[in-house]
Structure 1
Amino acid sequence: MKLATFSYPGPQGRESRVGVPDEQGLIDITNAAAELLRIRKGGTRARDVAAAVVPPDMIEFIATGSMALDLAAEAVEAVRTGRIGPWSSDDARVVWPADQVRLEAPLRPRSMREFGVYTEHLEHLGIKVPEAWYKLPLYFKGNPESVIGPDQTIRWPAFTTTLDFELEIGAVIGKPALNLSPDEAMDAVFGYTIFNDVSARDIQRAEQTYQVGPAKGKDFCNVLGPVIVTRDELGDGDLAVIVRVNGREWTRSTTGGMYHPWPRLVSHASWEESLVPGDLLTAGTVAGCCAAEYFLDQGRSPEDGLLAPGDVVEFEVEGIGLLRNAVGDRPDELSLDYGVPLST
């Protein structure tokens, strides 16, 4: 099942719901479930029961598990076969036309662990891979507060001149987990989404000379979307990916080639550290899928600049969809003076 978070204007501002994309627009699965229960059982509490079993918040929906998925699937099928119309019998909207809603990031993750497991990507950028990288799937913690969704503007922070994108796949945790073995790990994964790990390359390079993960170089903007696809629909195999900038194809690649596979990543993240529904694990940049690699192939140094204001970045991933965002304007002041150059 493909699951999206969408919003619409309400009396108290924008209201968010969980929906399933459809040819008609977006199916509000909570309202669809309420109408299905009303048809089956009658009574006056169908809406309350539906909100408990198929919550309108994505993380709550994920945490409800198979009960939510099963009832949502039945409700969506009832809409698609015409048993439920675009409006419920109590005048709640079941099907929203796409032009009346806005797709948001499918979830605001509870936490973000960002791995990097593509050897080819690191070597292409001239990064010396430490010995520990081959033994342990290393990661840093990201900033959930910086997450934006499809078609929202990528903010250009004041401290960088070299703004980059990175196409990654994110796994969303679906249930509490602790100290999982690799054989157990994938049962904790709810589904997958696309992740654009927007990067300030100059300050990132400076930060990582201290042998820590990036902070300011990554924390200002992360993009998720357009949907989460459940494992039962997408599977765990390799996916074809395409990167376009301003409508022109830059890269065509695949998510294959992970040195540490997903079971190892999930297992490692759970060692002596609880995972909870809504946590996000990302696998790192798919080989060839960042501007720095593209320009290196063109014989141009990344230090000469990467993205420009107004650039439109598109990630298309097999089975998940298209994630599109435009780059915002540069601030008037592009430097924060720390007294030392940040490009070394």
Structure 2
Amino acid sequence: MRLATFRHRGARRSGVVSGDALHPLPGDLTALIREGPEALGAAARAALRDPGTVPVPEAGLLSPVDPPTVRDFVAFEEHVEGVRKSVDGVGGVPGAWYDAPAFYFTNPYAVVGTGADIAVPPGCSALDFELEVAAVIGVEGSDLAPERAGAHIAGYTVLNDWSARDLQSAEMKVGLGPAKGKDFATTLGPWLVTPDELEPYRDSDGFLRLGMTVSVNGVEIGRDLLSNMGWPFEELVAYASRGTAVRPGDVLGSGTCGNGGCLAELWGRDGTGEPPPLQPGDTVTMTVDGIGTISNTVVAGADPIPLARARRRDRARPATG
């Protein structure tokens, strides 16, 4: 099934996608996911029997879920090779990358759907896209083994991890990873595709062999396969659940694919700065086999409100006794 969240005639709704029609669901998709796969499946089957539909072209597609958390992994070796050189000037892949699937937390309040305008973040002059696929958790679990983790995935969606590369490069010198460079926008969409729909794409090693492409203003920039990930999604879910819990609605991004999955990878490989950073008016379109297409247009953003540099202070200590 393909499950969507959309706006129609001023109301926010959820529905099952069938062809070019949306069959409305009774309630919010994220809430239905929390009720469990059996309840979600029953609601979807009932919706498909209802003749009342909304044409997809008339609906404003939103992010399929409102995630409580967004973990974004870095699971493509080729991406690490290129973007590391671009961001911090160091080539190669860190040895620690091979040990475990690293991730960072990004801003769940900045999640948008396909068609939304993306404002250039304040102070950014090197705006970039990142082509990814995300898994959405459907069943809570902790300390999951990889062979059990797949049953905890509700579905998959396309993810664009928008990045302010100049802000990111400066802040990562502090050693805490990206923050404001990733804080402003993440696109999810166009809908959530349940795992059974993608099983025909699974290869003999357990990876989903999905073609992925990204273009800017109709010109293709990158093309890769999701199966080039270093770990399948089941292992990402297992690692994310280690020592904690993954819960319904949580989003786990694959990380950016290689072969032009973002501009920074290309900048790091050839050193020319081409293609140039995104500018207002640019439209970024991403398509993943078996899932669908998302597209967003960049618009001008606000100027940064100046902040003073850190004040150097005398290191006084609290009184004792």
TM-score by length of 2: 0.85
Deviations 1:177-227 (A, max 9, x none): 001112211111111111100000011111222222201000111111000
Distance 1:85 1:330, change over 3 A: closer
- Residue type at the aligned position of 2:65: L
- How far 1:239 sits from its partner (Å)? 0.5
Q: Which residue pairs with 1:217 in the alignment?
A: 181
Q: How does 1:200-215 map to 2 (within 5 A)?
A: 200-215=164-179
Distance (whole Å) between structure 2 residues aligned to residue 285 and residue 214 of structure 1: 15
Q: Which residue pairs with 1:103 in the alignment?
A: 61
| Structure 2 alignment gaps of length 5 or more | 86-90, 203-207, 311-321
Distance (whole Å) between structure 2 residues aligned to residue 281 and residue 327 of structure 1: 24
C-alpha contact (below 8 Å) 1:158/1:336 kept by paired residues: no
Corresponding residue to 2:130 among 166, 180, 185: 166
Deviations 1:37-69 (A, max 9, x none): xxxxxxxxxxxxxxxxxxx11111112223234
Q: How does 1:1-344 map to 2 (within 5 A)?
A: 1-9=1-9, 14-30=10-26, 56-78=27-49, 84-86=50-52, 95-125=53-83, 126=85, 127-235=91-199, 237-287=208-258, 288-295=260-267, 300-301=272-273, 305-331=276-302, 333=303, 336=306
Q: Report the secondary structure of 1:327's partner residue.
A: strand
Q: Report the secondary structure of 1:154's partner residue.
A: strand
Q: Report the secondary structure of 1:3's partner residue.
A: strand
Distance (whole Å) between structure 1 residues aligned to residue 179 and residue 107 of structure 2: 9
Distance 1:335 1:73, change over 3 A: closer
Distance 1:128 1:339, change over 3 A: farther
RMSD between superposed Cα atoms in Å: 2.2
Distance (whole Å) between structure 2 residues aligned to residue 24 and residue 119 of structure 1: 37
C-alpha contact (below 8 Å) 2:81/2:265 kept by paired residues: no
- Residue type at the aligned position of 1:66: P
- Residue type at the aligned position of 1:85: P
Distance (whole Å) between structure 1 residues aligned to residue 102 and residue 124 of structure 2: 25
Distance (whole Å) between structure 2 residues aligned to residue 72 and residue 165 of structure 1: 35
| Structure 1 alignment gaps of length 5 or more | 31-55, 79-83, 87-94
- Residue type at the aligned position of 1:71: A
Distance (whole Å) between structure 2 residues aligned to residue 268 and residue 246 of structure 1: 37
C-alpha contact (below 8 Å) 2:82/2:267 kept by paired residues: no
Instruction: Pick which of 153-162 and 118-127 moved more.
Output: 118-127
C-alpha contact (below 8 Å) 1:194/1:320 kept by paired residues: yes
Distance (whole Å) between structure 1 residues aligned to residue 100 and residue 268 of structure 2: 28
Q: Which residue pairs with 2:316 in the alignment?
A: none
Deviations 1:151-200 (A, max 9, x none): 00011111210000001111100111001112211111111111100000
C-alpha contact (below 8 Å) 2:37/2:138 kept by paired residues: no
Distance 1:330 1:73, change over 3 A: closer
Distance 1:24 1:171, change over 3 A: closer
- Residue type at the aligned position of 1:215: A
- How far 1:339 sits from its partner (Å)? 5.9
C-alpha contact (below 8 Å) 2:285/2:296 kept by paired residues: yes
Q: Report the secondary structure of 1:171's partner residue.
A: strand
C-alpha contact (below 8 Å) 2:82/2:266 kept by paired residues: no
Identity %: 39
Q: How many residues align structurally?
A: 296
- How far 1:338 sits from its partner (Å)? 6.2
Instruction: Pick which of 15-24 and 110-119 moved more.
Output: 15-24
